[in-house]
C-alpha cells in the first residue's frame, strides 16, 4: 500500500515538474518569437562576430633589404564608463604623460561622458565604451601612462607600418591608411598580396552584449599578408637619385626623371622622380572660358612652371605624382631609332643610301620648314641616324604609308600603359589614324606629336638591347623579379640584324655625348661603352583646367622651355642595363649657352649612373684601360 502511494506521489511530482518545464519552455519561446513590447529592445541575436586584423606583409628589394615592414606599438584609449569621476585631474595627468594638449584630450573624453549620461537618463542608445586618445606611442611613453594607474585608461596593440628605405623609395612606395590598407604606390599595387586575410570568430553574449564564450569550431585565426620582393635594388636606387639630383642642379632644371632596367628580363632596378623648388616660376595664365578673347591680357614673359604637380609632394613624399608613369613628354630625336628601323625593314632606304639633306634647311612639299643641327648637303641613311638629321628622317618617313608608321608605334607599346602596377599610369598619346596627316607623318619622324612616359620609352628601347635571337624583341617591364612561375615573355618587333645595326649606330651617338662631357667637365676614362640617343623637345603646356581656356596667342608649348632626354644601354656587346633620363626644363642660362640639349644635360647623368651601377653589379668592363685613361679617371 505504502509502495503504491509513494509511486503515485512520485508520478505526480514528475508530472508537475514536466508541466512547469513545458510552461517555462513555452514562455521562452514566446519571448523569443513574440516578446512583450517592453522587452523588445533587449531581445536579439545572442551571437556576435569578432574580427582579427592580419599582420601586413613586408616589402623587400631584389637583394632582400627591407623596404617596408610592420611592427606593433601601444596606443591609448579610454573607457568612459570606467573613467575617473570627477575626470579633470585624470585628464590633465593623461595629457601630460602623452605630451598632448589637455584641452583636446579633455574634449574627447567629456563629450563621451556627456553622451553616456544621456543614454542612462533616457534608456535609449548604447553606452560609449571606447575613445581613442593617442596614436602609436613608444615603450617609454607607454610605461609612463601605465604607471599612472588611471581608471578606465587602457593600452592596446596596433600595427605600425615602417619604411626604412623611405628616403630612396618615397616616390613609388606609397603609404597605408588608418585601416592599414594600401592607398598609393607599391602599397596599393600589391594590396592583394600584402594585406593577408583577417581572422573571424563567433561568440555568445548576454543581453548586455557582454561576451560569454566562443562558439566551438567558429574561430579562424588571421593569416598574415604575403611578402613582396621587388626588382628594385636599393643601392642602384641610391646611385640613381644621387646622379639625377646632381644633373638637375648642374642644368638649373626644374626636375628630372630616371628609370633603369635589366633589358634581358624587363625588371626595373631603379626608378626616380625629383622636383626642384625653383624660385619665381610663373603659373600659366589660363583664362576662364566666359572671359571675352578680345579682352585677354598679354601673356607674361618669364619662366613658367612646366611640371604643375600640385601640393601632394609638400604634404608627404608618398603623395607626389610618380611622373615616370603619369606625365607625358615628347621624346624628340630619341624616338628616331624606332622610325629608322621601321623604314629600313620596309625597304624605304638602305643604310648606305645617300639622302639629300639640303645643307640643313628645307621645306616640305606642303611648306613646313625643317632644320638640322648638323648641317650637311647629303648623308647616308645610317649617318642620318648618327647625326640625327630631321630632314633625312622626314624625307624617308614620307615614303611610308600612314598606317605602317602608326601600327609600328602601337606595336612598340606607345599609346597603351606598361601596366607595371603603379597607379595613375598614363597610356600616352598617339594620333588616331583618322586624324593622321602629312604634318603628323613629318612630326613623328623626329619624335613630335606623340606623347610618351619614361617607362614606355624604356620598354620600347629594349628591342635594341637584347642579344642573339632575342635582339629586336620586346619584353614588358616589371617591378617584381622574374621566376619560373612568372617568366619574361618576348615579342618580336624588329629583325635581329636591324636591332644590331641600330645599336652600332647608337654607339657613335653616345661617343659624341661623351666627347662633349669631357670637353665640359674633363670626365673621361669610362670602363663601359654605351649606346644611346638624345632627344630635345619643347615642353608641352598641357590641357587647360576644367572651365578654362588658353589665352589668346597661347597654347601648345612653352616658349624656350624644354624636356631634354637621353636613353641608353651598356655594355655594348652584352647589355646589362638600359636607362632613360629626362631633365625637365633646363634653366635659362643653360639654354643661353646652348647646353640644354639631351646630349648635354641628360647624357652626363646616364653616363655616370651606368658607370657606377655596372661596377656595383660586378660586370666586367668592356674598355681596355691604358695608362692615360687610368690617369684621367683618377684625376
The CATH number of whichever domain residue 147 belongs to comes to: 3.90.1310.10
pLDDT > 50? residue 547: yes
pLDDT at residue 40 above 60? Answer: no
Residue 410 shares a structural domain with residue 327: yes
Confirm whether 25 is domain-assigned. Answer: no
What mean pLDDT is predicted for residues 457-484?
A: 93
- Domain-located, residue 368: no
Residue 633, pLDDT above cutoff 60: no
User: What average pLDDT score do residues 16-32 get?
Assistant: 64
- Which range (40-44, 73-77, 148-152, 553-557) has the least confidence? 40-44
Reported as type and span, the H/E element at residue 378 is: strand 378-380
Cell numbers at 216, concatenated: 566551438
Q: Is the pLDDT of residue 209 over 60?
A: no
Stated pTM of the model: 0.85
User: Residues 68, 58: contact at Cβ < 8 Å?
Assistant: yes
510 or 168, greater pLDDT: 510
Shared domain for 282 and 314, answered yes or no, is yes
pLDDT of residue 628: 52
Beta strands per DSSP E along 438-556: 450-451, 473-475, 490-492, 531-540, 548-549
pLDDT in tens, 359-393: 999 999 999 999 999 999 999 999 999 999 999 99
Quote the pLDDT of residue 313: 73
Q: How far is Cα 275 from Cα 239, in angstroms, rounded to an integer?
A: 17
How many domains is the chain built from?
Answer: 2
Q: Which of 467, 532, 461 is nearest to 497 (CA)?
A: 467
Q: Indicate if the pLDDT at residue 116 is higher than 70.
A: yes
Provide the percentage of residues in the chain whose pLDDT is more than 70: 89
Long-range contacts of 170-179 (CB under 8 A, 24+ apart): 170/317, 170/318, 170/320, 171/271, 171/272, 171/273, 171/317, 171/318, 171/320, 171/322, 172/232, 172/271, 172/322, 172/422, 173/59, 173/67, 173/68, 173/318, 174/318, 175/316, 175/318, 175/319, 176/56
Whether the pLDDT of residue 627 is over 50: the answer is no
Whether residue 221 is found in the same domain as residue 251: no
Residue 498 falls within a domain, yes or no? yes
CATH at residue 569: 3.40.710.10
Report the SS3 class of residue 621: coil
Confidence of residue 632 (pLDDT cuts 50, 70, 90): very low
Residue 630 pLDDT > 50, yes or no? no
**From the DSSP assignment, how many helices (H) and strands (E) are in the chain?**
21, 23
DSSP-assigned letters across all residues of 577-604: EEEEEEEES--HHHHHTT--SHHHHTHH
Which string of DSSP letters, residue by residue, matches 415-443? TS----S-TT----EE--GGG--HHHHHH
Domain annotation covers residue 33: no
What pLDDT does 315 receive?
A: 75
Q: What is the mean pLDDT of residues 79-99?
A: 93
pLDDT band at 239 (very low <50, low <70, confident <90, very high): very high
Confirm whether 372 is domain-assigned: no
Residue 109 in grid coordinates: 573624453
Residues 218 and 283 in one domain: no
Residues 90 and 239 in one domain: no
pLDDT at residue 37, as a whole number: 54
Is residue 429 located within the same domain as residue 447?
A: yes
Give the CA count within 13 Å in the CB-facing half-sphere of 535: 30
Cα dihedral 513, 332, 353, 402, rounded to 10, equals: 160
**Is the separation of the CB atoms in 462 and 578 below 8 Å?**
yes
Containing structural domain, residue 99: 50-116+126-190+201-229
Where is pLDDT greater, at 112 or 310?
A: 112
Task: Return the number of other C-beta atoms located less than 10 Å from residue 61's C-beta.
Answer: 21
Q: Using an 8 Å Cβ cutoff, are 582 and 273 in contact?
A: no
- Biggest CA–CA distance in the chain, Å, is 141
Q: What is the pLDDT of residue 347?
A: 97
Q: Is 470 helix (H, G, I), strand (E, B) or coil?
A: helix
Q: Given pLDDT bands bounded at 50, 70 and 90, which one contains residue 179?
A: confident
Instruction: Sort residue 80 into left (φ over 0), alpha (ψ -120 to 50) or beta.
Output: alpha
- Give 158 or 518, the one with higher predicted confidence: 518
**More confident site: 22 or 565:** 565
Residue 625's pLDDT band, with cuts at 50, 70 and 90, is low
* Per-chain mean pLDDT for the chain: 89
Per the CB < 8 A criterion, the answer to whether 517 and 607 are in contact is: yes
Please identify which residue in the block is written with the cell numbers 646632381. 246
Residue 139, pLDDT score: 93
What is the percentage of the chain residues whose pLDDT exceeds 90? 72
In the structure, what pLDDT confidence band is assigned to residue 571 with cuts at 50, 70 and 90? very high
Q: Please check whether residue 297 lies inside any domain of the structure.
A: yes
Same domain, yes or no, for 620 and 601?
Answer: yes
Alpha-carbon span 340 to 393, nearest angstrom: 7
**Residue holding cell 644590331?**
500
pLDDT reported for residue 207: 57
Same domain, 177 and 300: no
State the CB neighbour count (10 A cutoff) for residue 234.
21
Please tell me whether residues 222 and 257 are part of one structural domain.
Answer: no
In a shared domain, residues 295 and 212 = no
Lowest mean pLDDT segment, chosen from 203-207, 394-398, 408-412: 203-207
Are 212 and 257 within one domain? Answer: no
Residue 440 lies in a domain: yes
Q: Are residues 54 and 87 in the same domain?
A: yes
Cell numbers for 247: 644633373
**Average pLDDT rounded to a whole number, residues 134-160:** 93
Task: Write the CB contacts of 355 (distance below 8 Å, at least 6 apart in sequence).
Answer: 349, 378, 379, 380, 381, 384, 389, 391, 392, 395, 396
Whether residue 363 lies inside any domain: the answer is no
**pLDDT higher than 80, residue 485:** no
Amino acid at each position: 500500500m505504502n509502495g503504491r502511494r509513494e509511486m503515485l506521489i512520485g508520478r505526480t511530482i514528475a508530472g508537475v515538474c514536466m508541466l512547469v518545464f513545458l510552461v517555462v519552455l513555452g514562455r521562452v519561446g514566446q519571448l523569443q518569437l513574440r516578446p512583450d513590447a517592453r522587452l523588445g529592445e533587449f531581445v536579439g541575436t545572442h551571437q556576435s562576430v569578432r574580427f582579427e586584423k592580419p599582420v601586413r606583409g613586408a616589402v623587400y628589394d631584389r637583394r632582400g633589404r627591407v623596404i617596408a615592414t610592420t611592427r606593433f606599438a601601444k596606443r591609448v584609449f579610454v573607457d568612459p564608463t570606467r573613467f575617473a569621476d570627477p575626470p579633470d585631474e585624470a585628464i590633465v595627468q593623461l595629457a601630460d604623460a602623452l605630451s598632448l594638449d589637455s584641452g583636446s584630450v579633455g574634449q574627447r573624453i567629456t563629450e563621451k561622458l556627456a553622451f553616456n549620461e544621456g543614454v542612462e537618463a533616457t534608456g535609449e542608445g548604447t553606452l560609449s565604451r571606447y575613445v581613442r586618445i593617442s596614436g602609436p606611442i613608444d615603450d617609454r611613453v607607454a610605461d609612463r601612462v601605465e604607471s599612472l594607474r588611471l581608471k578606465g585608461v587602457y593600452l592596446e596593440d596596433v600595427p605600425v607600418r615602417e619604411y626604412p628605405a623611405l628616403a630612396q623609395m618615397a616616390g613609388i612606395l606609397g603609404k597605408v591608411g588608418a585601416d592599414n590598407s594600401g592607398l598609393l604606390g607599391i602599397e596599393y599595387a600589391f594590396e592583394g598580396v600584402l594585406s593577408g586575410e583577417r581572422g573571424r570568430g563567433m561568440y555568445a553574449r548576454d543581453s548586455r552584449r557582454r561576451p560569454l564564450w566562443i562558439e566551438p569550431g567558429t574561430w579562424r585565426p588571421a593569416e598574415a599578408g604575403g611578402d613582396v620582393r621587388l626588382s628594385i635594388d636599393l643601392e642602384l636606387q641610391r646611385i640613381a637619385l644621387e646622379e639625377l639630383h646632381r644633373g638637375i642642379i648642374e642644368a638649373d632644371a626644374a626636375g628630372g626623371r630616371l628609370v633603369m632596367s635589366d633589358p634581358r628580363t624587363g625588371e626595373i632596378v631603379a626608378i626616380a622622380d625629383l622636383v626642384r623648388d625653383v624660385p619665381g616660376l610663373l603659373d600659366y595664365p589660363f583664362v576662364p572660358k566666359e572671359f571675352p578673347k578680345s579682352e585677354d591680357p598679354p601673356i607674361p614673359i618669364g619662366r613658367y612652371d612646366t611640371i604643375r604637380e600640385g601640393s601632394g609632394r609638400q604634404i608627404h613624399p608618398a603623395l607626389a605624382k610618380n611622373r615616370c608613369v603619369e606625365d607625358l613628354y615628347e621624346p624628340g630625336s630619341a624616338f628616331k631609332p624606332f622610325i629608322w628601323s621601321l623604314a629600313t625593314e620596309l625597304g624605304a632606304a638602305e643604310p648606305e643610301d645617300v639622302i639629300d639633306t639640303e645643307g640643313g634647311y628645307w621645306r616640305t612639299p606642303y611648306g613646313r620648314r625643317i632644320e638640322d643641327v648638323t648641317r650637311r648637303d647629303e648623308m647616308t641613311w645610317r649617318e642620318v641616324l648618327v647625326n640625327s638629321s630631321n630632314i633625312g628622317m622626314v624625307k624617308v618617313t614620307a615614303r611610308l604609308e600612314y598606317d605602317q608608321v602608326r601600327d609600328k608605334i602601337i606595336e612598340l607599346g606607345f599609346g597603351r600603359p606598361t601596366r607595371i602596377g603603379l597607379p595613375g599610369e598614363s597610356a600616352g598619346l598617339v594620333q588616331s589614324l583618322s586624324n593622321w596627316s602629312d604634318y603628323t607623318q613629318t612630326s613623328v619622324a623626329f619624335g613630335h606629336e606623340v606623347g610618351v612616359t619614361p617607362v614606355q620609352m624604356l620598354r620600347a628601347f629594349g628591342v635594341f638591347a637584347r642579344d642573339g635571337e632575342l635582339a629586336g624583341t620586346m619584353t614588358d617591364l616589371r617591378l617584381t623579379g622574374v621566376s619560373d612561375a612568372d617568366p619574361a615573355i618576348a615579342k618580336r618587333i624588329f629583325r635581329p640584324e636591324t636591332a644590331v645595326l641600330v645599336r652600332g649606330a647608337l654607339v657613335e651617338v653616345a661617343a659624341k655625348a661623351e666627347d662633349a662631357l669631357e670637353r665640359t667637365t674633363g670626365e673621361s676614362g669610362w670602363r663601359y661603352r654605351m649606346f644611346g640617343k638624345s632627344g630635345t623637345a619643347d615642353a608641352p603646356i598641357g590641357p587647360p583646367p576644367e572651365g578654362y581656356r588658353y589665352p589668346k596667342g597661347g597654347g601648345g608649348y612653352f616658349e624656350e622651355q624644354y624636356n631634354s632626354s637621353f636613353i641608353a644601354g651598356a655594355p655594348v656587346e652584352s647589355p646589362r642595363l638600359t636607362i632613360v633620363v629626362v631633365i625637365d626644363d633646363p634653366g635659362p642660362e643653360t639654354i643661353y649657352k646652348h647646353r640644354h640639349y639631351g646630349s648635354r644635360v641628360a647624357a652626363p647623368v646616364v653616363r655616370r649612373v651606368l658607370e657606377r651601377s655596372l661596377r656595383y653589379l660586378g660586370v666586367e668592363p668592356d674598355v681596355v684601360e691604358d695608362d692615360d685613361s687610368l690617369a684621367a679617371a683618377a684625376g
